[in-house]
């Protein structure tokens, strides 16, 4: 259990660093926002191709950011379960999550059989 907590906290730290490199945390919404390309907002862009390319970068950052964000949510979720003492319990059937599964994925929210039932 303690081992898993350490693993989760380490992964959380890494994720937060990655998030910081891609965007910034909006304290008002509680969400991570992709760093806007300041040129796009402040300047008239004459070259459409360049503009599209940069917009794509922003899209890419946004989607990467939300993927990281949902992983971070899973980790926070798992950490708070450790706090309240129901870590390792499947969110769908209430059964115990397999040891091997927790080993591979300490932030797993369900048992093997229910892994596709949670979005
Ligand atoms: Zn289950």
Asked if 59 and 109 sit in the same domain, the reply is no
pLDDT attached to residue 56: 75
**Long-range Cβ contacts of 22-28 (<8 Å, 24+ apart):** 22/61, 22/64, 22/65, 22/68, 23/61, 23/65
Least reliable range by pLDDT among 12-26, 48-62, 94-108: 48-62
Domain identity same for 118 and 82: no
How far away, in angstroms, is 106 Cα from ligand 1 center? 15
pTM > 0.85: yes or no: no
Whether the CB-CB separation of 60 and 35 falls below 8 Å is answered with: no
Same domain, 69 and 33: yes
Ligand 1 centroid to residue 71 C-alpha, Å = 20
Q: Which of 23-27, 32-36, 115-119 has the highest mean pLDDT?
A: 23-27
Cα of 93 vs centre of ligand 1, distance in Å, is 4
CA atoms within 13 A on the CB side of 119: 0
Total domains in the fold of the chain: 2
Per the listing, tokens 């390792």 go with 88
Which domain covers residue 117, as residue numbers?
88-119
Same domain, 111 and 67: no
Å from CA of 119 to ligand 1 middle: 14
Output the CA 85–ligand 1 centroid distance in Å.
Answer: 17
Q: Is residue 70 domain-shared with residue 36, that is, in the same domain?
A: yes
Residues facing 57 on adjacent strands: none
Q: Judge if 56 and 111 occupy the same domain.
A: no
Q: Is the pLDDT of residue 46 over 60?
A: no
Distance 38 CA to ligand 1 centre (A): 46
Smallest CA-to-CA distance from 72 within 101, 30, 39 is with: 30
How many angstroms does the Cα of residue 118 sit away from the middle of ligand 1? Answer: 10
Distance CA(35)–CA(40), nearest Å, equals: 11
Same domain, 104 and 93: yes
Residues 6+ apart with CB under 8 A from 115: 108
Same structural domain for residues 29 and 40?
yes
């Amino acid at each position: 259990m303690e081992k898993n907590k350490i693993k989760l906290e380490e992964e959380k730290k890494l994720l937060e660093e990655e998030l910081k490199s891609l965007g910034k945390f909006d304290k008002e919404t509680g969400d991570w926002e992709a760093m806007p390309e300041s040129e796009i907002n402040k300047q008239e862009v004459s070259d459409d191709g360049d503009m599209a390319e940069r917009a794509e970068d922003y899209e890419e950052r946004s989607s990467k950011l939300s993927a990281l964000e949902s992983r971070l949510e899973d980790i926070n979720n798992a950490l708070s379960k450790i706090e309240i003492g129901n870590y390792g319990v499947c969110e769908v059937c209430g059964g115990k999550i397999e040891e091997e599964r927790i080993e591979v994925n300490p932030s797993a929210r369900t048992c093997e059989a229910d892994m596709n039932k949670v979005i």
